[in-house]
Structure 1
């Protein structure tokens, strides 16, 4: 499995911990995020993640900013991307099962680090259910 990850300054601590988790699971990581806490623009780090997902060079993506909103909005401008802003593991599971989310957007300022790691585990270990959800996904327009 291969994951692309990107973050702005609000998500650096979370990104570093998530990359550590992914590597401990023998998952390859394309790390596009900043490693610093100086203010940066989230879009500069989200577009490369979304590009990887869009091209199919990674299996999934994870993006992190303060609220998760700007990052998710940016990612969802890309074809074939279904970024889900999540704040509980239950929402993560539904985003994968019902919406076939391929990017997880985390709001670093509103969840704890243990919650974030639990949400990443849920994202990695939950599959799309298909069925009635498939026809709904097909109604999401692509440019």
Structure 2
């Protein structure tokens, strides 16, 4: 498909749900297409339910994809998103414009772990041009397997939510 219409609705990939009843919404621009396919294979191997929000390998504008994934995650509590572009930066900027999304650029294991532990990030953003396949897949597993720590961090996450309401 050509144009942005392909990104308005996400298409269903898998019928199985994880133990936590969580769905993973995934999207990429043209730079991240191959990496997205690798990530989808990993998610299916883990028997997670996946919704692919584009792209199909054609040229794509990352804000459109970030909107599709971000809106889905924001409207489905407990679900998570994965966004992939050349660097992950554009996707993270765009996704964070959506109320309820806490998107984080994940480029190393430490930051990926702590964005879940302390920030309760619900969307991970990665760069297909900045991460090799092995590290990218490792970061996906860290992101999905790390729970939010809560405690003193709950107040801070709530403060972020208040900022969204304020602006």
Q: TM-score range by the shorter chain?
A: over 0.9
Return the alpha-carbon distance in structure 2 between the equivalents of residues 82 and 57 of structure 1. Answer: 12
Residue 39 (structure 1) shift: 2.7
Which residue number in structure 2 is paired with residue 132 of structure 1? 152
Within 5 A, what are the aligned runs for 1:1-143? 1-36=22-57, 38-56=58-76, 59-140=79-160, 141-143=163-165
What stretches of structure 2 of length at least 5 have no aligned partner?
1-21
Distance 1:27 1:102 in 2: 16
Secondary structure of the 2:130 match is coil
Deviates more, 1:12-21 or 1:26-35: 26-35
Residue-by-residue CA offset, 1:54-111 (whole Å, 9 max, x unaligned): 1016610000011111101111011111000010121110000000000000011111
Number of equivalences = 142
Alpha-carbon displacement from aligned partner over 1:9-59 (angstroms, at most 9, x marks no partner): 1101110000011011111111012131x4321112111100111101661
Paired with 1:107 and 1:39, the residues of 2 have a C-alpha distance of: 16
Partner SS for 1:139: helix
Distance of 1:84 and 1:101 partners within structure 2: 6
Instruction: Find the aligned partners of 2:150 and 2:133 in 1 and give their Cα distance.
Output: 31
Task: Give, in whole Å, the separation in 2 of the partners of 1:32 and 1:57.
Answer: 18
- Decide whether aligned partners of structure 1 residues 132 and 88 sit closer, same or farther in structure 2, where only a CA change above 3 A counts: same
Moved over 3 A (4+): none
Alignment partners' CA distance in 2, 1:102 and 1:57: 9
Cα root mean square deviation, aligned: 1.2
